[in-house]
Structure 1
Amino acid sequence: MAETLHLNTGVPKYTQISHWLMEMIQKGRYGLHEKLPSESRLSELFRVNRNTVRQAISDLVSKGLIQKRNGVGSFVIARSIPPVKYTLQNISSFTDDMIRMGITPKTKLIRQSVIEVPSEVAEKLMLGKEKWVILTERLRLGNQIPLVIERSYLPHKEYKAILKMRLTGSLYHLLTKKFHVDLHRSIQTFRAIALTGKDGKLLELPPGAPGIFLESIIYDSKNIPVEVLHAFHRGDQYVFEVESGRYRFELESLKRS
């Protein structure tokens, strides 16, 4: 290892150290479960104080790449992954998206329960007098990095059998194969948010970290609402892609306005 490494001016030092460590992890120089150099060694290497090194380490902890163990040191728990591209074009499965990108998917079931439907969800599912839905809350990970929290609402009367099924894979696979539902179309809206303390903790991010909230309402081929999904994505790991058609200049409508 070199005696000292140069840091550029104009960029926060902790950011440069964080990026250097991330590159070293991504290239396999520091392998999974391997201990990183000590804070004192890194401060000597970059000629910075230990507070700057701690800030860089905390940045990697928030990204889910390393874990700090009190009195022991910092250890690699995951390799960085390229930003996950979410295409707002077709209904997609998280599991399918991860596999397509060469990322290993994993699902942690947080809870699954029958609840009285929130009014805004009841309206979107068009439930009428039906008051109960199945709420399934899951944490979805890629290469061991927590990426998105999903809260899915399904009409209880139609899908109560799902309560006895394993939900560690694709929910959409179950709906199509076990319930023979044609997931025909969806209406998706998204917006930037600041993650709450609870959601940030699940995603291993500090409270107030940037996130992307996505609401998806899925309909079957008969225009019956099937699911309302609320998904909370890490802002530092997702890219949303929208494909648009050609520009159409409506001259006549402009003249009338």
Structure 2
Amino acid sequence: MYIDKKSPIPAYYQLKNKIIEKINTGEYAENSLIPSERELSDSLGISRMTVRQALTQLVQEGTLYREKGKGTFVSKSKLAQRNITSFSQTVKNKGMLPMTKVLRLEKIKAPDNILKILELDDNDWVYNIKRLRFANNKPVAIEENFIPEKYCPNLDNCNLTESLYTILTEEYSYKIDYLENVIEAGKASVEDKELLKIASGTPVLKISSVVHTDSNLKLLYEDSKYRSDEYKYNVFVYNNKTPQ
């Protein structure tokens, strides 16, 4: 590694980028020990305070983690979903195999909160679908969807172990325009812990989504819980304009 001391870019920031580059190329593998503060300081000719600033920020961002008395290590890479990319595609992009187990599939009278969220009529029915999602046989997410029957008749005849977005676009010809998401940390229930195989006290990432089509239809509501140690969600935020 080389730090350009004449560059207007701060030395700590250059070091951060160099470390990230080594992680992305595989030179620094997951859970591997990176050089110590002293080693980096001596080899790069920068102060230990500068090195510490770079490493501390990478730890805070989740790229690295520290173990007392042992050193600083590369964190495990998480599945990263970006905006409208489906869970199945997110897993495939990581080079892993997506799998799905249907936990519940029933047609019910739309609950009051779903009537309001999806702007349905009082007598509308919805498909309630609860699924457990896997990446390479590891449980990663619990998804519960509410889809109006009038928008997707006979949905219960489809193979719901496949990507739901694929079914909606290919079988029902809907074009998904955007998602309205609420993202927050949550506490796992007893059932969540059993399904996701996580220890007590492990938080989950909760994402509630309303899926909008290009014809301004609120197509479905999804309430999902993801393992926070395996999954992250990247969001692009734009300044009052539609991205090109």
TM-score interval, smaller chain? 0.5 to 0.7
Change in Cα spacing, 1:118 to 1:206, as seen in structure 2 (3 Å) is farther
- For 1:154-169, list aligned pairs within 5 A: 154-169=147-162
- 1:224 positional shift: 1.1
- 1:85 positional shift: 0.9
Q: Name the CA distance, whole Å, in 2 between partners of 1:143 and 1:205.
A: 16
Aligned to 1:190, the other structure's residue is in SS state strand
Q: Which residue of 1 aligns with 2:206?
A: 213
Spell out structure 1 runs of 4+ moving beyond 6 A: none
Residue type of the alignment partner of 1:83:
K
Q: Which moved more, 1:198-207 or 1:177-186?
A: 198-207
Change in Cα spacing, 1:207 to 1:156, as seen in structure 2 (3 Å) is farther
Residue 123 (str. 1) matches residue 128 (str. 2):
no
Q: Name the CA distance, whole Å, in 2 between partners of 1:221 and 1:245.
A: 19
Q: Name the CA distance, whole Å, in 2 between partners of 1:181 and 1:139.
A: 24
Question: Residues 43-63 of structure 1: CA distance to partner in whole angstroms, max 9, x if unpaired?
Answer: xxxxxxxxxxxxxxxxxxxxx
Q: Name the CA distance, whole Å, in 2 between partners of 1:225 and 1:158.
A: 10
Of 230, 233, 241 in structure 2, the residue corresponding to residue 240 of structure 1 is: 233
Change in Cα spacing, 1:179 to 1:194, as seen in structure 2 (3 Å) is same
Of 165, 175, 192 in structure 1, the residue corresponding to residue 168 of structure 2 is: 175
Q: Which moved more, 1:140-149 or 1:111-120?
A: 111-120
What is the number of residues matched between the two proteins?
169
Change in Cα spacing, 1:221 to 1:130, as seen in structure 2 (3 Å) is farther
Quote the RMSD (CA, aligned, Å).
Answer: 2.2
TM-score (norm 2): 0.64
- 1:208 positional shift: 4.1
Of 219, 222, 225 in structure 1, the residue corresponding to residue 218 of structure 2 is: 225
Of 74, 79, 82 in structure 2, the residue corresponding to residue 84 of structure 1 is: 79
TM-score (norm 1): 0.61
Question: Residues 111-132 of structure 1: CA distance to partner in whole angstroms, max 9, x if unpaired?
Answer: 1001222222211111122342
Of 179, 193, 197 in structure 2, the residue corresponding to residue 204 of structure 1 is: 197
- 1:105 positional shift: 0.7
Aligned to 1:217, the other structure's residue is in SS state strand
Question: Residues 205-224 of structure 1: CA distance to partner in whole angstroms, max 9, x if unpaired?
Answer: 23442001101101111111
- For 1:92-103, list aligned pairs within 5 A: 92-103=85-96
Q: Which moved more, 1:103-112 or 1:199-208?
A: 199-208
- For 1:37-116, list aligned pairs within 5 A: 82-87=77-82, 89=83, 91-116=84-109
Q: Name the CA distance, whole Å, in 2 between partners of 1:232 and 1:127.
A: 25
